[in-house]
Amino acid sequence: MRIVLVGPPGAGKGTQAVRLAEKLGIPHISTGDLFRANISRQTELGKLAKSYMDAGNLVPDEVTIAMAKDRMEQPDAENGFLLDGFPRNVSQAEALDELLRDEHMTLDAVLDLEVPEEEVVKRIAGRRICRNDSSHVFHVTYSKPEQEGVCDVCGGELYQRDDDSEDTVRKRLEVYHTQTEPIIDYYKAQELVVTISSLGPVDEITQRALEALKREKAGK
């Protein structure tokens, strides 16, 4: 399956993507995680991306699309992938369509995670991620690690993302509404959008998502 996950920052995309990718047997591709890995390796791409990320802006399309394309072309993504955080504007969605068309592929679904803004703000304020791998995500009250400050998955140090500060979050939400939300209409025109509530226990949301994807597949 080829799936795009969409939703505001803090909706639980990364949290759900890890679980869904495992259940569906496809790789989880997060452009945010790829940028953070570049930042920790101090690559040129990482240095460029950090300046945009810290301001809550989108990294320019050209580098983002090239990075996403490169990742989607890896052998593990041959039979499908779950995109998290990409595409993030209509130009990226058009670029993805073109890429898929060139390979005679199509998307199966766009899973839209709906969460009220006040919940998103609480989730982001308490989010902690792992230094070793930013897809290891915790929350100081909703999803506590067994030992404070230590990643349950790999023992790495947990920290708060630089762009999870209050000011940057406000900017990221604005960018979401103005630049990312329009992709929902773009994909509605292709009849690909499946909307679910991302409120409630993490496992229930995973179940909800799997059932919604199954219904979408059966309806085609």
List residues near ligand ADP by CB under 6 A.
7, 9-15, 123, 126-127, 137-139, 142-143, 200, 202, 205
Closer to ligand AMP at the Cβ: 26 or 85?
85
- Residue 208 designated active-site: no
The catalytic position among 13, 50, 71, 123 is 13
Q: Cβ 206 to ligand AMP, closest distance in Å?
A: 19
Q: Cβ 64 to ligand AMP, closest distance in Å?
A: 4
Closer to ligand AMP at the Cβ: 18 or 53?
53
**107-129 burial code (b ≥16 CB/10 A, e <16):** bbbbbbbebeeeebbebbbbbbb
- Residue 71 designated active-site: no
Distance CA 36, CA 54 (A): 11
State the DSSP string of 166-207. Answer: HHHHHHHHHHIIIIITHHHHHHHTTT-EEEEE--S-HHHHHH
Q: Is residue 92 annotated as involved in ligand binding?
A: yes
- Residue 127 designated active-site: yes
Closer to ligand AMP at the Cβ: 61 or 152?
61
Distance CA 69, CA 210 (A): 26
Backbone angles phi, psi at 143, to 5 degrees: -150, 70
- Residue 172 designated active-site: yes
Distance CA 129, CA 117 (A): 21
Q: Is residue 214 annotated as involved in ligand binding?
A: no
Q: Give the footprint of ligand AMP on this chain (CB under 6 A).
A: 9, 31-32, 35, 52-53, 57-59, 64, 85-86, 88, 92, 163, 172
Neighbours of 97 (CB within 10 A): 16
Residues in the annotated binding site for ATP: 10-15, 127, 137-138, 200
The set of catalytic residues is: 13, 88, 127, 161, 172
